[in-house]
Amino acid sequence: MTVSCVFCSSDGGEVLWRDELCRIVLAREEHHPLLLRVIHARHVREMSDLPAAERARLMERVFAAELALRELLAPEKLNLASLGNVVPHVHWHVVPRWKDDAHFPSPIWSAPERPSRSLVVDEPLRARLRERLATLLSSA
């Protein structure tokens, strides 16, 4: 564990699902409150540092997060990103996008082009996300 790594010292968001490999969290980014992060449990810098089977299992969880957001929110597009420039710990961003979100069509890390879309992330929605992730990943 790296002490200075935020994903080693905290969950990195509200945990919606977890197993021994990773956790899926609701990141609650200012302009994108429904952004999910899939965070590897161990401190690993690069996907290629993981054994092939572990990479495949991690991507199954990324795709489950994408599918859960698609089914529950019906966004116009979903972005998947694994950068790690700021936090060099393997994690994926799963970002639902709408044409009227603050950054569309640019990446979410660019300057906002309009006010943030008003999205209510209430407990019933979080519960539906937890339930759908659990169902999708029950055999993973």
pLDDT tens, position by position, for the chain (140 residues)? 445 899 999 999 999 999 999 999 999 788 888 999 999 999 999 999 999 999 999 999 999 999 999 999 999 999 999 998 889 999 999 999 999 999 999 999 899 999 887 788 999 999 999 999 999 999 77
Alpha-carbon gap, residue 14 to 62, rounded angstroms: 16
In a domain, 136, yes or no: no
- Say if pTM beats, i.e. exceeds, 0.75: yes
**Alpha helix stretches (DSSP H) within 37-113:** 52-73
> What is the span of the domain harbouring residue 24?
6-131
In a domain, 139, yes or no: no
Task: Tell me how many domains the chain contains.
Answer: 1
In a domain, 10, yes or no: yes
Q: What is the pLDDT of residues 66-105, one digit of tens each?
A: 999 999 999 999 999 999 888 999 999 999 999 999 999 9
In a domain, 21, yes or no: yes
The number of CA neighbours under 13 Å toward the Cβ of 50 is 21
CATH number, domain with residue 45 = 3.30.428.10
In a domain, 1, yes or no: no
Residues forming beta bridges with residue 40, ordered by sequence position: 22
